[in-house]
Amino acid sequence: MSKHVYIKTFGCQMNERDSEIMEQLLSQAGYISVAEQQDADLVIFNTCSIRAKAEQKVFSLLGLLRKQKEKQPGLRVAVAGCVAQQEGKQIFKRMPHVDIVVGTQQIYQLPDMLLRLDRDETRREISCDLEKSFTIPPFQKLLTADKGQPPSPAAPEFRKFVTIMQGCNNFCSYCVVPATRGREISRPVTDILEEVALLVNKGVKEITLLGQNVNSYGCTNTVADQQAGFADLLQMVARVPGVERLRFTSSNPQDLSTELMQCFAELDNLCPHFHLPVQSGSNAVLKRMHRKYTRELYLEKVDALRSFCPEIAISTDMIVGFPGETDQDFEETMDLLEIVRFHGSFSFKYSDRPNTRSADFGDKVDEQVKGERLQRFQKRQDQISLERNKEFLGKTVEVMIENNKDDSIQSRTGTNHIVHFAGPNNLVPGDVAMVTITHAGKHSLNGNFIA
Regarding 274 and contact with ligand 5AD (CB under 6 A), the answer is no
How far apart CA 149 and CA 29 sit, in angstroms, is: 9
Nearer to ligand SF4, 212 or 411 (CB): 212
Regarding 353 and contact with ligand 5AD (CB under 6 A), the answer is yes
Regarding 175 and contact with ligand 5AD (CB under 6 A), the answer is yes
Angle at 197 between CA 191 and CA 200, to 5 degrees: 140
Nearer to ligand SF4, 14 or 318 (CB): 14
Work out what residue 82 binds among ligand 5AD, ligand SF4, none; the CB cut-off runs from 5 to 8 Å by kind: ligand SF4
Nearer to ligand 5AD, 51 or 388 (CB): 51
Cβ atoms 370, 350 nearer than 8 A:
yes
In SS3 terms, the chain reads as CCEEEEEEECCCHHHHHHHHHHHHHHHHCCEEECCCHHHCCEEEEEECCCCHHHHHHHHHHHHHHHHHHHHCCCCEEEEEHHHHHHHCCHHHHHCCCCCEEECCCCHHHHHHHHHHHHHCCCCCEEECCCCCCCCCCCHHHHHHHHHCCCCCCCCCCCEEEEECEECCCCCCCCCCHHHHHCCCEECCHHHHHHHHHHHHHCCCCEEEEECCCHHHCCCCCECCCCCCCHHHHHHHHHCCCCCCEEEEECCCHHHCCHHHHHHHHHCCCECCEEECCCECCCHHHHHHCCCCCCHHHHHHHHHHHHHHCCCCEEEEEEEECCCCCCHHHHHHHHHHHHHHCCCEEEEEECCCCCCCCHHHCCCCCCHHHHHHHHHHHHHHHHHHHHHHHHCCCCCEEEEEEEEEECCEEEEEECCCCEEEEECCCCCCCCCEEEEEEEEECCCCEEEEECC
Regarding 350 and contact with ligand 5AD (CB under 6 A), the answer is yes
Nearer to ligand SF4, 40 or 84 (CB): 84
| Least distance (Å) between residue 80 CB and ligand 5AD | 19
Nearer to ligand SF4, 7 or 440 (CB): 7
Work out what residue 15 binds among ligand 5AD, ligand SF4, none; the CB cut-off runs from 5 to 8 Å by kind: ligand SF4
Single residue of 215, 269, 351, 415 touching ligand 5AD by CB under 6 A: 351
| Least distance (Å) between residue 57 CB and ligand 5AD | 14
Work out what residue 14 binds among ligand 5AD, ligand SF4, none; the CB cut-off runs from 5 to 8 Å by kind: ligand SF4
Nearer to ligand 5AD, 229 or 277 (CB): 277
Regarding 251 and contact with ligand 5AD (CB under 6 A), the answer is no
Nearer to ligand SF4, 10 or 421 (CB): 10
Work out what residue 317 binds among ligand 5AD, ligand SF4, none; the CB cut-off runs from 5 to 8 Å by kind: ligand 5AD
Nearer to ligand SF4, 181 or 370 (CB): 181
Regarding 285 and contact with ligand 5AD (CB under 6 A), the answer is no
Regarding 319 and contact with ligand 5AD (CB under 6 A), the answer is yes
How far apart CA 160 and CA 64 sit, in angstroms, is: 32
Cα dihedral 335, 338, 343, 346 in deg (nearest 10): 20
Report the site for ligand 5AD in 31-70 (rule: CB under 6 A): 50-51
| Least distance (Å) between residue 81 CB and ligand SF4 | 6
Regarding 277 and contact with ligand 5AD (CB under 6 A), the answer is yes
Nearer to ligand SF4, 181 or 205 (CB): 181
Regarding 185 and contact with ligand 5AD (CB under 6 A), the answer is no
Amino acid at 203: G
Residues near ligand SF4, by CB under 6 A: 11-12, 14-15, 48-50, 81-82, 176-177, 180-181
Cβ atoms 104, 82 nearer than 8 A:
yes
Work out what residue 188 binds among ligand 5AD, ligand SF4, none; the CB cut-off runs from 5 to 8 Å by kind: none
| Least distance (Å) between residue 211 CB and ligand 5AD | 13
Regarding 174 and contact with ligand 5AD (CB under 6 A), the answer is yes
Candidates 326-334, 347-355, 376-384, 421-429: pick the segment binding ligand 5AD (CB under 6 A).
Answer: 347-355
* Residues near ligand 5AD (CB under 6 A): 50-51, 174-175, 277, 279, 317, 319, 348, 350-351, 353
